[in-house]
């Protein structure tokens, strides 16, 4: 059965995975906007737990403490009026704090804990089951949504991913030292690939795309062409104008910010 036959009239689920700095969020956001789908970054769940751990002084080396924190923290992800994904922790919008270097430094330690991943998995899967969504992360195609209609796995050289991380940090007003960023990305690669629970790896049926040397628009166009083949129709332009629908978990609400 072809991918297009597989989708039929079902609201599609697009999984975009890959290591840090490969371009997942940029591509996933654009694809969601172009095809009128919701965008969900599952990494925000783990970043939210990491943020709460730092705020409360929870030992990030304690698997038991992190698991308890993940179970008790109310994490809400929804879309604002522009289709941007917003993350709330216990009702507070923390989206703009999730990309801070201190979060980058410990999020893989949080995400590697099996109990944390299990505590957050049902919430992520419930979003996938609603359909009509583009989800990015590291285990979407293998664990969160193994039956996704399309699985894309983005890769890029370490040098390119480091440069992208530096540019992203500076755009957000954070200081970025090349050596520290390179060490951080390498550390995250190792932890994400070697962790026991849901290690970073492409699904057997994933489309692997190397984004090295490509502009974001070039990668977006390449992925959009594949998405159009899978769900039918033609790849639309970036100004199609569809607003992604709100995504809700545990009584979530649509954002108005």
Residue 10: which pLDDT band, with cuts at 50, 70 and 90?
low
Max mean pLDDT range (5-14, 167-176, 228-237): 167-176
Q: Are 130 and 210 in contact (CB under 8 A)?
A: no
- 71 pLDDT higher than 90: yes
pLDDT more than 90, % of the chain? 64
Span 86-107, mean pLDDT? 91
Residue 180: which pLDDT band, with cuts at 50, 70 and 90?
confident
**What are the residue boundaries of the structural domains of the chain, listed by start?**
11-231
Q: Are 139 and 125 in contact (CB under 8 A)?
A: no
Identify the pLDDT of residue 235.
Answer: 60
What CATH fold (topology level) applies to the domain 11-231?
Rossmann fold (3.40.50)
Residue (of 156, 111, 110, 215) closest to 18 by Cα position: 156
- 1 pLDDT higher than 50: no
Q: Are 241 and 36 in contact (CB under 8 A)?
A: no
Q: Which residues contact 174 (CB under 8 A, 6 or more apart)?
A: 99, 100, 101
Higher-scoring residue by pLDDT: 178, 52 = 52
- 60 pLDDT higher than 70: yes
Span 36-49, mean pLDDT? 94
- 238 pLDDT higher than 90: no
Residue 17: which pLDDT band, with cuts at 50, 70 and 90?
very high
* Phi, psi angles (nearest 5°) of residue 231: -100, -5
Q: Are 130 and 249 in contact (CB under 8 A)?
A: no
The per-residue pLDDT of the chain, averaged, comes to 85
Sheet holding 133-137, edge to edge: 38-41, 133-137, 13-17, 150-155, 207-210
Span 229-245, mean pLDDT? 56
- 56 pLDDT higher than 90: yes
Q: Are 214 and 207 in contact (CB under 8 A)?
A: no
- 155 pLDDT higher than 90: yes
Identify the pLDDT of residue 97.
Answer: 93
Q: Where are the alpha helices (DSSP H) in the chain?
A: 3-7, 24-35, 43-56, 63-72, 101-104, 107-111, 114-130, 158-171, 178-194, 216-231
Locate 77 and state its tokens: 């992800």
Span 36-48, mean pLDDT? 93
CA atoms of 245 and 113, how far apart (whole Å):
31
Residue 79: which pLDDT band, with cuts at 50, 70 and 90?
confident
Span 137-152, mean pLDDT? 96
Which of 14-18, 174-178, 236-240 comes out lowest in average pLDDT?
A: 236-240
Identify the pLDDT of residue 49.
Answer: 98
């Amino acid at each position: 059965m072809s991918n297009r036959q597989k989708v039929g009239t079902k609201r599609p689920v697009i999984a975009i995975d890959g290591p840090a700095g490969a371009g997942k969020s940029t591509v996933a956001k654009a694809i969601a906007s172009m095809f009128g789908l919701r965008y969900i970054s599952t990494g925000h769940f783990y970043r939210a737990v990491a943020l709460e751990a730092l705020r409360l002084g929870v030992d990030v080396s304690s698997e038991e403490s992190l698991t308890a924190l993940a179970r008790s923290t109310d994490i809400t992800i929804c879309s604002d009026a522009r289709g941007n994904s917003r993350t709330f922790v216990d009702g507070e919008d923390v989206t703009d704090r999730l990309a801070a270097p201190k979060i980058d430094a410990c999020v893989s330690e949080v995400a590697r804990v099996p109990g944390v991943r299990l505590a957050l998995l049902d919430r992520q899967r419930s979003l996938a089951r609603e359909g009509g969504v583009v989800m990015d992360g590291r285990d979407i195609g293998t664990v969160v949504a193994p039956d996704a209609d399309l699985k894309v796995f983005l890769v890029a050289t370490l040098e390119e991913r480091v440069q992208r991380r530096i540019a992203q940090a500076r755009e957000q007003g954070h200081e970025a030292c090349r050596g520290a960023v390179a060490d951080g990305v390498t550390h995250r690669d190792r932890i994400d690939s070697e962790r026991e629970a849901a290690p970073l790896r492409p699904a057997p049926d994933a489309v692997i795309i190397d984004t090295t040397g490509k502009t974001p628009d070039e990668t977006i166009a390449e992925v959009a062409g594949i998405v159009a083949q899978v769900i039918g129709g033609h790849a639309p332009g970036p100004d199609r104008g569809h607003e992604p629908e709100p995504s809700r978990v545990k009584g979530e609400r649509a954002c108005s910010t």
